[in-house]
Structure 1
Amino acid sequence: MDKIMPKFHKKIRLDKDVYARDGAVCFITVCTEGKIPLFQNDALTRSFIDQLKTDADSNGVPVFSYCFMPDHLHLVIAPGIRKDIVRFVGEYKGRTTRLAWGFGIKGKCWQTSFHDHFLRKEEDVRASVMYVLQNPVRKGLVTEWKSYPYSGSLVYDL
């Protein structure tokens, strides 16, 4: 007779303290709900960038790089003085969803959760920043990363 095995769900988040650890740098990808290309709307995307700047500044979160692709967002960030990474991203998603409603978007803007990768000591932050900034070039949206209007850094002078 077959035994019924209990279902175990893989935990997608590391322990909470990892997201607040001093010196941690994390590469994050957040996808739009249903992979809808929200960030083809210039005014909406610029308002999301402004909100990112406001949230990062008010929470002391270093945003080493950001890149709004048509259907997802890349960030290289570290925990802030007032917010860990999970809380920062969650609150940002909530605020930007409310912003999007003002542009006529209905319902959720973002998929639940996000993908993360903590940089190891041997991984270079600047290399990760450049990887993010080069994403529009790799996807054929521009020929040179500096010409893409929806990416940048709130830490480095690029």
Structure 2
Amino acid sequence: MPARWKEDQKLYHRSDTVRLRDFNYSDPAYVYFVTLCARHQKEPFKNEDLSNEIITALLHLKETKIFLYCYCLMPDHLHVAISPRNQNLSGILRDFKSYTTKISWRFGIIGKLWQRNFYDHIARHDENLLTICQYILENPVRKGLVEEVEGWPYSALVDPLPL
């Protein structure tokens, strides 16, 4: 490989992660506000049946791998506030994305359902978790999809918040 290409590769190398180095992403003491986005800015979750399958998979994950405080599935992305049950957050989300991608193929989705990475915010201990969940649940109202939070069928408060 020519030296110039090596320099360009250093300049334009895509980071494999936006996670914090040396942070324990499997610690259940932390709450994560996570956003998973659909690939190519598509809106696959306008399909009611697919959306219901995604929610079912998420609720199954709650039974096995995460504490699920709240969620909101939008037409093109998913917001959740979660804590892992002593498993690595990235691995949990990787498995969820893989499983739900396979489900999506039954609904005509070709290829991957989700973008490669995910966005997360580690809730600080001084942050109000109810405010975070309220923000998540109000997303469809802010986007003009419904007039009231209760009108959106793909969102809920689930597990009690660790206040």
Normalised TM-score (structure 2): 0.86
CA distance in 1, matches of 2:43, 2:139: 16
CA shift for structure 1 position 85? 1.4
CA distance in 1, matches of 2:55, 2:28: 25
- Residue 20 of structure 1 pairs with residue 23 of structure 2: no
* 1:51 corresponds to: 57
- Residue 135 of structure 1 pairs with residue 139 of structure 2: yes
Q: Is the 8 A contact 2:27 2:85 kept in 1?
A: no
Q: Is the 8 A contact 2:26 2:84 kept in 1?
A: yes
CA distance in 1, matches of 2:57, 2:145: 24
- What are the Cα deviations for residues 45-84 of structure 1, in whole angstroms up to 9, with x where unaligned? 001000111122122x111111111111101111114x22
- Residue 37 of structure 1 pairs with residue 31 of structure 2: no
SS in 1 for 2:85: coil
2:24 counterpart letter in structure 1 = V
1:21 counterpart letter in structure 2 = D
CA distance in 1, matches of 2:58, 2:83: 14
Percent of pairs identical after alignment? 34
Q: 1:62 aligns with which of 52, 61, 67?
A: 67
Which has the larger displacement, 63-72 or 8-17? Answer: 8-17
* 2:112 corresponds to: 108
> 1:99/1:9 Cα in 2 relative to 1: closer, same or farther (>3 Å)?
closer
CA distance in 1, matches of 2:99, 2:42: 18
- Residue 99 of structure 1 pairs with residue 103 of structure 2: yes
| RMSD, aligned CA | 1.9
* 1:144 corresponds to: 148
Q: Is the 8 A contact 2:55 2:154 kept in 1?
A: yes
CA distance in 2, matches of 1:110, 1:142: 24
CA distance in 1, matches of 2:83, 2:110: 31
CA distance in 2, matches of 1:9, 1:78: 28
* 1:77 corresponds to: 82
The runs of 4+ residues in structure 1 deviating greater than 3 Å are 4-11
> 1:53/1:16 Cα in 2 relative to 1: closer, same or farther (>3 Å)?
farther
> 1:24/1:49 Cα in 2 relative to 1: closer, same or farther (>3 Å)?
same
> 1:142/1:156 Cα in 2 relative to 1: closer, same or farther (>3 Å)?
farther
CA shift for structure 1 position 9? 5.5
**Structure 2 residue ranges without an equivalent (≥5):** 1-6
CA distance in 1, matches of 2:111, 2:52: 20
**Structure 1 residue ranges without an equivalent (≥5):** none
CA shift for structure 1 position 12? 1.1
CA distance in 2, matches of 1:135, 1:16: 32
